[in-house]
Amino acid sequence: MSEPSRPPRIHDVARVAGVSVATVSRTMSNPAIVSEATRKAVEDAIAATGYTLNLTARNLRQQQVGGVLALVPNIANPFFSQILAGISTVLRQRGLSLLVMDTTAVGDQPALAVLGPYLNRSRSDGVIVLDGSLDPGLFTRPGCPPVVQACEWIEGLDAPRVLADNVEGGRLAAQHLTGLGHRRILHVTGPAPNTLTASRRQGFLQGLAQAGLPAPGPNDSIRGDFETRSGLDAVPRILAMEPRPTAIFCDNDEMAIGVIHGLSMAGIAVPQQISVMGFDNIEMSGYCLPPLTTVRQYRTRLGRRAAELLLARMQGDDDRQTVMLDVELMERASTAPPPKDA
């Protein structure tokens, strides 16, 4: 019994089963339309030959790819990888594969050159964009597959969006902290040209206004980059402030954890001397010390909704809606009323 040098093709199955290739193809895609006897014969022949479909050939004929591309700023970041998990779940149910492209390392080359070839119907059947810093022009070129934006979004790109209600989240944070009695609240923000940063800021300012606090000046916020390190680095500047804030709202949990770490090293007790809260509710926020008060958003669900929306678009749905997902305040132990002498 000699091992065949190449995998069997549909032609081989047809020969073994004594039918035409068309019949084999039909048996596989729609068993109902072939007779009982041929179906059996074909199935036996498939088993006997060990045949597996060549997807590339099918895709060429059917003008599709069978895969969806996710454009993510950084796969290594759990924030995004959790969204990917949600996307992955939905895609697999439909038999589609997930292609992941990390846009971080694109930086040193023009995005069009690197990303351009991927934004093509012969590369994927649809695209989920998780990176708000990309050029909208990339996605309006002819031949670009249907696009859905998730989490972050690109100004000026007319495509459906799925996002957490970041404005409401910022407002909840302000409401929580002012409700505890804080009046000097510092905002550690994300990077500047970022839609998440902007909406969380907007909601935060709204919340302060609702509590009757004056709009803070430019010195009442410090810019971070969503990394833990930038929270830590903000601490010396926080400690130098006069008067010192009694509460700190960070645009994500990582930075909040960095801030708490820095404050502890400096001997400041959280929340007794300074309250700190975050955003996102990453898993670690429940386990750090003190457990972090934060705004919860559902990232797996966000990924799922994005994938569902994309699937709809791929089937011709032309509705450019924005899906807004609820957020929720998670009250833990890193926030408390301000100290009496503040």
Partner DNA sequence: AGCGTTGATGAAACCGATTACATCATCGCG
Partner DNA sequence: CGCGATGATGTAATCGGTTTCATCAACGCT
Of 61 and 340, nearer to DNA (C-beta) is 61
Least Å distance, CB 310 to its own copies, is 16
18 binds, among DNA, its own copies, none (CB under 5 to 8 A by kind): DNA
The verdict on 272 binding its own copies (CB under 8 A) reads: no
Within 8 A by CB and 6+ apart from 235, the residues are 258, 259, 262, 263, 265, 266
Chain residues in the site for DNA (CB under 7 A): 6, 9-11, 18-26, 28-29, 33-35, 37-38, 51, 53-54, 57-58, 60-63
Least Å distance, CB 55 to DNA, is 8
The verdict on 102 binding its own copies (CB under 8 A) reads: yes
3-class SS of residue 30: coil
Can you tell me the distance from the alpha carbon of 252 to that of 300, in angstroms, rounded to the nearest whole number?
A: 17
160 binds, among DNA, its own copies, none (CB under 5 to 8 A by kind): none
- Residues 112, 117, 121, 126, Cα dihedral to 10°: -60
Least Å distance, CB 125 to DNA, is 14
Scan residues 30-59 and list those touching its own copies (CB under 8 A): 50, 52-57, 59
**Segment interacting with its own copies (CB under 8 A) among 69-77, 162-170, 187-195, 308-316:** 69-77
> What's the DSSP call for residue 224?
-
Binding mask 132-171 for its own copies (x = CB under 8 A): ---------xxx----------------------------
Half-sphere exposure of 274 (CA within 13 A, CB side): 27
Angle at the Cα of 196 (from 162 to 190), degrees rounded to 5?
A: 155
Q: What is the DSSP string of 120-151?
A: STTT-SEEEE--TTS-GGGGTSTTPPPEEEES
The type of residue at 88 is S
Of 67 and 136, nearer to DNA (C-beta) is 67
> Where does the chain have alpha helices with state H?
10-17, 21-29, 36-49, 55-62, 78-93, 111-115, 166-179, 195-210, 228-239, 253-265, 299-314
Which residues are at the interface with its own copies (CB under 8 A)? 3, 7, 50, 52-57, 59-60, 65, 67, 74-78, 81-82, 84-85, 88-89, 92, 97-102, 105, 114, 117-118, 120-123, 141-143, 228, 232, 257-258, 260-261, 264, 283-284, 287-289, 291, 300
